[in-house]
């Protein structure tokens, strides 16, 4: 979820990425060359999903795409392995993609644990976001907030970065579990309550498998509107004003009763 102000963060990050990749390529050691090759392969996979190469940032043991969508490197490597197997020897005339959503084992009661450090106004937004998703009719999707971390699927915690992401979240894993965490940027603690609610509802949308409606990554969900400017999965924060018809339909399609 992005703040409304546009900054030059994208270009700064992508430049950093290019410099890192470039310096890795220029090294003589074989190990570095292999690492650069893997990065290239993972980047190819991510661009095949429609993610803009300039908005792919490798960050230690994970990758950040479109500013607020996260994947762990082990998860990404697994996806690449399946993708390579699917593509082997077969010329592609259209894109094929794996789309992981939350399996039936978890999707009727996705349990969120909120870290103690999360301020009360964000807690209110988290509870509101859970209520929002639970109120969508005609789907099996359910969420709850639990008090034991060991009993939870997704942890909500605070980060603090002077950056234009308000919160960010992991996508569901290939094993069918929901995204493992939502990180809230304390830099945006003074955001209006209705924007906090939008932002958390949006991030929970990522943890159950939604990409951004205003960008082209991910697989289009047939039957949903081609444009949906007020969708909760728009990457820019809006004041919460309810789900759009498209949001509801997309949820009903991904998680039918
Ligand atoms: Zn997002």
Per residue in 191-212, pLDDT (tens digit) is 999 999 999 999 999 999 999 9
Name the segment(s) of the chain with CATH classification 3.40.390.10. Answer: 110-254
Q: Residue 171's closest CA among 211, 117, 231?
A: 211
Q: Averaged over 169-195, what is the pLDDT?
A: 96
Cα-to-centroid distance, 116 and ligand 1 (Å)? 24
Cα-to-centroid distance, 203 and ligand 1 (Å)? 6
| Banded pLDDT at 88 (limits 50, 70, 90) | low
Cβ atoms of residues 3 and 164 within 8 Å: yes
> In which residue are the tokens 């205003």 written?
214
Cα-to-centroid distance, 163 and ligand 1 (Å)? 14
Burial label for 111, CB within 10 Å (0-12, 13-18, 19+), is middle
Query: How many C-beta neighbours within 10 Å does residue 112 have?
Result: 23
Distance in angstroms (rounded) separating the CA atoms of residues 207 and 176: 11
Cα-to-centroid distance, 202 and ligand 1 (Å)? 6
Angle at 85 between CA 84 and CA 87, to 5 degrees: 65
Cα-to-centroid distance, 51 and ligand 1 (Å)? 12
Helix boundaries (H) for the chain: 9-26, 30-48, 73-87, 120-134, 193-207, 245-254
pLDDT at residue 238 greater than cutoff 70: yes
Q: What share of the chain is helix, strand, coil (3-state, %, to 5)?
A: 40, 15, 45
Which two three-digit tokens encode residue 215? 């960008």
pLDDT at res. 19:
41
Q: What is the pLDDT of residues 4-21, one digit of tens each?
A: 754 343 444 444 444 443
Q: Averaged over 218-243, what is the pLDDT?
A: 91
Cα-to-centroid distance, 70 and ligand 1 (Å)? 10
pLDDT at res. 14:
44
pLDDT at res. 22:
41
Backbone torsion region of residue 207, taken as left when φ is above 0, otherwise alpha when ψ lies between -120 and 50, otherwise beta: alpha
Per-residue CA distances from 87 to 43, 81, 96, 100, 110 (Å): 16, 10, 9, 18, 33
pLDDT at res. 104:
97
| Banded pLDDT at 134 (limits 50, 70, 90) | very high
Q: Please enumerate in sequence order all residues whose Cβ is within 8 A of that of 93, keeping only pairs 6 or more positions apart, or say none.
A: none
Cα-to-centroid distance, 88 and ligand 1 (Å)? 32
Cα-to-centroid distance, 167 and ligand 1 (Å)? 8
**133 or 48, greater pLDDT:** 133
Distance in angstroms (rounded) separating the CA atoms of residues 233 and 75: 23
C-alpha 112: how far from chain center = 16
| % of the chain with per-residue pLDDT over 90 | 60
Q: Averaged over 251-257, what is the pLDDT?
A: 94
Cα-to-centroid distance, 27 and ligand 1 (Å)? 35
pLDDT at res. 159:
97
Which two three-digit tokens encode residue 59? 């960050």
Cα-to-centroid distance, 200 and ligand 1 (Å)? 10
| Banded pLDDT at 214 (limits 50, 70, 90) | confident
Query: Which of the four CATH numbers 3.40.390.10, 3.90.1150.10, 1.10.287.310, 3.40.50.300 does domain 110-254 have?
Result: 3.40.390.10
Distance in angstroms (rounded) separating the CA atoms of residues 88 and 120: 51
Cα-to-centroid distance, 151 and ligand 1 (Å)? 26
Cα-to-centroid distance, 85 and ligand 1 (Å)? 29
Phi, psi (deg, nearest 5) at residue 11: -70, -35
């Amino acid at each position: 979820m992005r703040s409304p102000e546009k900054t030059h963060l994208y270009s700064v990050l992508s430049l950093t990425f290019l410099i890192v990749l470039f310096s890795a390529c220029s090294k003589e050691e074989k190990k570095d060359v292999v690492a650069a090759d893997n990065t290239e392969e993972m980047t190819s996979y991510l661009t095949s999903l429609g993610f803009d190469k300039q908005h792919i940032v490798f960050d230690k043991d994970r990758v950040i795409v479109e500013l607020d969508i996260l994947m762990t490197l082990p998860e990404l490597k697994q996806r690449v392995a399946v993708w390579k197997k699917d593509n082997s020897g077969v010329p592609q005339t259209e894109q094929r993609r794996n789309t992981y959503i939350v399996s039936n084992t978890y999707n009727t009661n996705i349990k969120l644990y909120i870290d103690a450090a999360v301020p009360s106004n964000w807690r209110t937004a988290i509870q509101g976001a859970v209520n929002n998703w639970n109120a969508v009719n005609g789907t099996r999707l359910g969420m709850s907030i639990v008090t034991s971390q060991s009993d939870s699927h997704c942890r909500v915690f605070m980060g603090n970065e002077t950056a234009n992401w308000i919160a960010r979240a992991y996508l569901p894993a290939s094993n069918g579990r929901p995204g493992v965490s939502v990180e809230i940027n304390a830099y945006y603690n003074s955001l209006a309550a209705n924007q906090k609610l939008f932002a958390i509802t949006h991030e929970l949308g990522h943890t159950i498998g939604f990409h951004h409606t205003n960008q082209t990554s991910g697989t289009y969900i047939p039957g949903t509107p081609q444009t949906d400017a007020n969708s909760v999965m728009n990457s820019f924060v809006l004041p919460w004003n309810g789900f759009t018809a498209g949001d509801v339909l997309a949820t009903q399609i991904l998680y039918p009763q």
